[in-house]
Amino acid sequence: MTPLDLTHGPPRSPREELCEVCMLPRMIDIARAKLPGGDVGQYQIGRGMSGLVLSAFGLSAERFVEMVRDAGTDADVAMALGRRVAVARRAVGARLGRVTVADVPADLKESFQQFYGADLPSDRLVFDVLEADDRKMFPDHKAKEAS
């Protein structure tokens, strides 16, 4: 895949799905930004929500980036993930979309609050927080279409 520069626009929404796994298109975008010639900006992969998905896949962030590097399309990434997609779908599928600020693990809470603020309502969905942050960083950017 070609590298992305996430200093010019956000990755896809965490709500977007590939093979019925939310976060996966966003993770692919961030992985593409980690490729030579890309720029990840303030985005990260392997912690927080993406860490949950990677854990369900049984992959490190580094291995996932390698898979994305070797793929030509999102569908190629899904094919490379193979049966791991079904496991992730069952393990994290609908659950991720319901994670709230109150659910942020203690070991991630400090960095979460540094990135997004300490005054967020505890019942606010983390996906809403991520999307609001994308809009704040790129107010003139339109949402990306699914690949």
List C-alpha distances in Å: 16 to 10, 44, 58, 110, 143: 13, 17, 21, 27, 11
Whole-prediction pTM: 0.85
Of residues 67, 20, 68, 62, the one with CA closest to residue 44: 62
pLDDT in tens, 98-131: 899 999 989 889 999 998 999 999 999 999 999 9
Label residue 146 by pLDDT band (50, 70, 90).
very low
Q: Per-residue pLDDT averaged across 35-64, rounded? A: 94
Cα 28 to chain center, whole Å?
7
CA dist 51 and 19 (Å) reads: 18
Give the model's pLDDT for residue 140.
83
Q: At what angle do helices 61-70 and 48-57 cross, to 10 degrees?
A: 80
